[in-house]
Amino acid sequence: MKFKLFSILLTLTIFFGVIIFSDHQQKPNFYKVDIKERAEIEKIYALINEQKYDLALPLIEMSLPKLLAKQSNDGSMIAWLYDMKAHVMASRYHFHYAIEAITQANQYKSDPRYRKLREEWLKKIDAMQEERQLRTSYISGRNAGLSQSLTNDVHIAYIYIDDNRSSKWSGKQRIKNQVSVDKVLEWYKQQASHYAIDELDFKVRYFVVNSPKGVGKEWLRDPTAFRQILNNLFKRLSFRGIGEFIEDIKGENKNSQVAIVFHSNYDGRSFAMSCPAGSRLYQCQYEYVMLTENMNNTRLGWALPQVQAHEVLHLFGAKDLYNIAKSKDYAVTDIMNYYSRDIKYATIDPISAWAIGWHKQPSTPFNIEK
């Protein structure tokens, strides 16, 4: 999956990078709170001014319950804290949470600006619904094919496609990409810890394959491309077929999971070919990710780890949420539904955690087809 909304996301990047707090620099009235809370409020204000939003947010969330517990508070400071929380959430592209916070601010202080911000953020959410009506249900892909669950030992065969033309890989670009892959794998482990999944280990082997023909979006989506690319690799490495290649990737642990990832240095729409639920390896060998992410596209380089994380999760059973009608306001930071400003702000929510073998099946506003 690669959203058709990158132009919108780029606009958001520019918008929030420049003016996110430009009209919120007015110093709050610290004397409306007790001296015990004053130092915390002053620290929050300083961090916001220094654009250290990740440090400010925990302090905001600590200060709010204290002020809310004091019936004597006039509400303006509470409103200011919710206002700051809303803008931190918006800076992460978490517009649903930003709307929740600015709505809370409006309960403690009537301000037309709050209503205006809410309307703006609702429009941004609506602008991301281009494919929302494509599906009405979630079709499970649990425990299927080559990559059954994202647990224990996971081996990734990461294959660069180089045609020396539109998809040419330099050593510098490969190193840059491997930094992104490492970031994704650390994020997986961090998300797994929320579900008490502690024995998650990744091994990645990188290959470079000379493409048998010029890379283009039509050819990359052709099923024959998978075989043509791998055949070139097998000839060079003396593998007799995909089965022998997979066994070699697994190494000594024959129970490990294997994911095959192709990456063409070409600007297109990435996708995953994943096996349907219930299929076994002998029934569905052609399970892979095809990344078409141009490493020269520095404007959208921040999104690369999320594209990689999203597509690889497909191989382990996770399905798209961004195209299900009733998931617009569900799992709103899940990487299968919405992009965040950085992968560190994205989440694997219970529905996707269930699909990849981390969690029990949650209740959902849409039907799950097994």
Q: Has residue 183 been placed in a domain?
A: yes
Same domain, 258 and 353: yes
Same domain, 169 and 287: yes
The boundaries of the domain holding residue 17 are 6-126
Domains of the chain: total: 2
Same domain, 102 and 76: yes
CATH number where 350 lies: 3.40.390.10
Same domain, 142 and 268: yes
CATH number where 58 lies: 1.25.40
First to last CA, the chain: 21
Q: Has residue 1 been placed in a domain?
A: no
pLDDT confidence of residue 4: 45
Q: Has residue 174 been placed in a domain?
A: yes
Same domain, 232 and 118: no
Same domain, 121 and 142: no
CA–CA gap between residue 121 and residue 138 (Å, rounded): 27
CA–CA gap between residue 248 and residue 44 (Å, rounded): 53
pLDDT confidence of residue 10: 43
Q: Has residue 131 been placed in a domain?
A: no
368 Cβ neighbours under 8 A, 6+ residues apart: 137, 138, 140, 361
CA–CA gap between residue 160 and residue 214 (Å, rounded): 14
3 state SS of 228: helix
Domain boundary at 102, 126, 150, which? 126
Same domain, 116 and 250: no
Q: Has residue 198 been placed in a domain?
A: yes
Domain boundary at 126, 145, 175, which? 126
215 Cβ neighbours under 8 A, 6+ residues apart: 161, 163, 165, 166, 167, 264, 266
Q: Has residue 232 been placed in a domain?
A: yes
Q: Has residue 132 been placed in a domain?
A: no
Same domain, 87 and 211: no
Type and span of the H or E element at 273: strand 271-273
Same domain, 34 and 142: no
Q: Has residue 28 been placed in a domain?
A: yes
Same domain, 208 and 97: no
Same domain, 40 and 158: no
pLDDT confidence of residue 7: 42
Domain boundary at 69, 98, 126, which? 126
Same domain, 69 and 213: no
Q: Which pLDDT tens digits describe the chain residue by residue (370 residues)?
A: 444 444 445 444 444 443 455 455 567 777 777 777 888 999 999 999 999 999 999 999 999 998 888 866 678 899 999 999 999 999 999 999 999 999 999 999 999 999 999 999 999 999 999 999 999 999 988 888 778 899 999 999 999 998 877 788 999 999 999 999 999 999 999 999 999 999 899 999 999 988 766 666 677 777 778 888 888 889 888 888 888 998 999 988 888 999 999 999 888 889 998 877 766 655 676 789 999 998 887 777 889 999 999 999 999 999 999 999 999 999 999 999 999 999 999 999 999 999 999 999 999 999 998 7
